């Protein structure tokens, strides 16, 4: 699953300074890089390689601001085929969706959680990965915490890539790498850590790739979930991971 940030802080997509600028020379922007680099790895964990792909924070085809719209423009089907399908849907959306705001994660996370929850109901033994790619500061930090705490019981991990030069302090809070579990507005603690955040500016061009940094905690999150459910996985590769929905955010 993947989710892509369409808020106005990304800049006018027609401007070369925009984080969403599509370079005629073929040079990838930060969103395309994240989709490609993460998507090409995680898609191999998905048997059919069909990914839910959403956008958030954009003014969509019906002229309303949506915080979770289907990236392919089809109101009845959110899945696309492979990383190529995500890239094509993203490029198409840039021509049909106006950047707006604010930056809200709650609805995207809730949609991903609903898919994971339905999988449990059907005993499908699948594990899901939501990739969120964003440039901005969250407006709904507490709502996002609430959504993450609820989702911590589900077969779901959330990878967040930060692009651009914004202050990503809030994302570090969601990542909970300080050992403190997230707490909801009602005082409930997350069952486990399901978030990994990486700012692209800190890893791109360095010794460690975005993919390595993002996937560092994923095996542990997966195993923590399976143990909590007394599920004995044959191997990590045996898990059906629906990667990159979003955001493939999300690839």
CATH superfamily of 2-242: von Willebrand factor, type A domain (3.40.50.410)
Judge contact between 149 and 183, C-beta under 8 A.
yes
Distance separating alpha carbons of residues 7 and 14, to the nearest angstrom: 14
Rounded to an integer, what is the distance from CA 58 to the centroid of its chain?
16
Ranges under pLDDT 70 in the chain? 202-208, 233-251
How far is residue 248's CA from residue 251's CA, in Å, rounded to a whole number?
4
How many CA atoms within 13 Å lie on the side-chain side of 224?
A: 15
* pLDDT given for residue 122 in this prediction: 86
96: Cα separation from own chain's centroid? 21
Q: Residues 9, 136: contact at Cβ < 8 Å?
A: yes
- What pLDDT was estimated at residue 125? 82
Looking at the DSSP assignment, which residues form a beta bridge with residue 199? 162
Other Cβ atoms within 10 Å of 165 Cβ, number: 10
202 alpha-carbon distance from chain centroid: 19
pLDDT tens-digit readout, 71-120: 999 999 999 999 999 999 999 999 999 999 999 999 999 999 999 999 99
pLDDT given for residue 206 in this prediction: 52
C-alpha–C-alpha distance, residues 90 and 248, integer Å: 10
The C-alpha atoms of residue 231 and residue 8 are separated, in whole angstroms, by: 43
Is 185 within 8 Å of 146 (Cβ atoms)?
A: yes
pLDDT of residue 245: 36
Residue 202 pLDDT: 66
Give me the pLDDT at residue 214, please.
81
What is the structure's pLDDT at 13? 97
pLDDT attached to residue 159: 94
């Amino acid at each position: 699953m993947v989710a892509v940030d369409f808020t106005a802080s990304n800049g006018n997509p027609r401007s070369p300074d925009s984080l969403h600028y599509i370079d005629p020379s073929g040079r990838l922007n930060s969103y395309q890089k994240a989709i490609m680099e993460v998507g090409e790895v995680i898609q191999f964990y998905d048997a059919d390689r069909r990914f839910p792909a959403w956008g958030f924070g954009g003014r969509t085809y019906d002229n309303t601001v949506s915080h979770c719209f289907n990236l392919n423009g089809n109101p009845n089907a959110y899945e696309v085929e492979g990383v190529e399908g995500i890239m094509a849907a993203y490029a198409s959306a840039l021509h049909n969706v106006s950047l707006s705001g604010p930056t809200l994660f709650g609805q995207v996370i809730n949609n991903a959680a609903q898919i994971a929850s339905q999988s449990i109901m059907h005993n499908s033994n699948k594990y899901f990965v939501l990739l969120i790619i964003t440039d901005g500061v969250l407006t709904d930090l507490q709502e996002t915490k609430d959504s993450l705490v609820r989702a911590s019981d589900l077969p779901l991990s959330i990878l967040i890539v930060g692009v651009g030069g914004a202050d990503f302090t809030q994302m570090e809070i969601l990542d909970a790498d300080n050992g403190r579990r997230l707490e909801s507005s009602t005082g409930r603690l997350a069952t486990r850590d399901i978030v990994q955040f990486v700012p692209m500016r800190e890893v791109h061009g360095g010794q460690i790739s975005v993919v390595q940094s993002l996937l560092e905690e994923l095996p542990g999150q997966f195993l923590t979930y399976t143990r909590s459910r007394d599920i004995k996985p044959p191997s990590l590769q045996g898990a059906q991971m629906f990667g990159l929905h979003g955001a493939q955010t999300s690839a």
